């Protein structure tokens, strides 16, 4: 009897997770802004975007820009610390850091390193370090940019990265098989779960992510075994960004902001 009850509870949980729920969002603001890629919004409310491979920082009537066309295309911008931004130029294997006025403060060319490093993923970590995924060894590590040393954290990854992001203490990624993994600064790796096919994706909370597929936005909440499709959202968009219960949808014409309350 107890075995039957356990099976029933398991099937109920699976059915609950597989049944996608609808989540209604409300539009409240549209901003005219011509850009190529939207980067994000920092904790002070400044918007960052890229146009013609130039990084712009804007709020109200304030506007700053950083341009370094000699390093090629900007592959990533890390906004965690508005006082120390990270720009990654993958074509030239180089990281540039900027202060809050978008003045260059440091440049690290990993092709000049005594130890061969080809960076394909990076972000700002704690204690004067960068997260570094070295595609030569397929290993994740922490690079101390004051000592110019690399600490390898884990064994070589078995699958290539499909998407990644990081904060000061954790590096998260989705591999090519859809496995969602996380590694802390001590090298402890855990698998969070499996992710459906996606076109764009953003980690938005503890075991929560927002992703798009075929013009539809979804929230996957593995912490509570829930999945939601977002309703009343523009279907044609270039990208999206979520922060502090605000969902921003980006089109060539500008930004549409929606209020969203996660269950």
> In terms of residues, how long is the chain?
263
- Select the more confidently predicted residue: 251 or 44: 44
Q: Are strands 54-59 and 47-51 parallel, antiparallel or unpaired?
A: antiparallel
* Domain boundaries defined on the chain: 1-32+208-263
Q: Distance of CA 110 to CAs 90, 116, 137, 154, 157, Å?
A: 10, 8, 14, 20, 21
Q: How confident is the model at residue 18 (pLDDT cuts 50, 70, 90)?
A: low
Indicate the pTM of the whole model.
0.89
pLDDT (tens digit per residue) in 107-149: 999 999 888 999 999 999 999 999 999 999 999 999 999 999 9
Question: Which residue in this structure is represented by tokens 């209020």?
Answer: 259
CB atoms within 10 A of CB 236: 8
| Contacts of residue 205, Cβ cutoff 8 Å, sequence gap at least 6 | 223, 262
- Select the more confidently predicted residue: 32 or 63: 63
Straight-line distance from the first to the last Cα atom of the chain, in angstroms, rounded to the nearest whole number: 34
Residues 122 and 133: beta-carbon distance below 8 Å: yes
CA angle 101, 36, 232 (to 5 degrees): 110
């Amino acid at each position: 009897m107890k075995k039957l009850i356990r099976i029933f509870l398991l099937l109920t949980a699976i059915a609950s997770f597989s049944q996608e729920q609808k989540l209604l969002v409300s539009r409240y603001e549209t901003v005219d802004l011509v850009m190529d890629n939207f980067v994000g919004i920092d904790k002070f409310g400044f918007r960052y975007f890229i146009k013609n491979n130039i990084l712009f920082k804007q709020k109200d009537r304030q506007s700053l820009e950083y341009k370094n066309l000699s390093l090629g295309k900007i592959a990533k911008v890390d906004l965690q610390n508005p006082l120390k931004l990270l720009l990654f130029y993958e074509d030239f294997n180089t990281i540039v850091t900027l202060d809050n006025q978008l003045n260059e403060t440091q440049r690290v060319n990993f092709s000049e390193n005594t130890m061969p490093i080809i960076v394909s993923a990076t972000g700002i970590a704690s204690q004067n370090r960068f997260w570094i995924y070295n595609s030569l060894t397929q290993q994740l590590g922490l690079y101390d940019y004051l000592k110019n040393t690399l600490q390898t954290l884990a064994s070589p990854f078995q699958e290539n990265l499909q998407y990644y992001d990081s904060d000061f203490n954790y590096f998260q990624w989705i591999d090519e098989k859809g496995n969602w993994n996380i590694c802390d600064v001590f090298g402890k790796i855990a698998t969070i779960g499996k992710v459906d096919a996606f076109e764009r994706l953003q980690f938005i909370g503890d075991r929560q992510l927002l992703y798009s597929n075929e013009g539809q936005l979804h929230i996957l909440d593995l912490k509570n075994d829930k999945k939601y499709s977002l309703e009343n959202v523009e279907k044609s968009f270039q990208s999206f960004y979520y922060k502090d219960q605000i969902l921003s949808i980006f089109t060539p014409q500008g930004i549409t902001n929606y209020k969203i309350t996660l269950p």
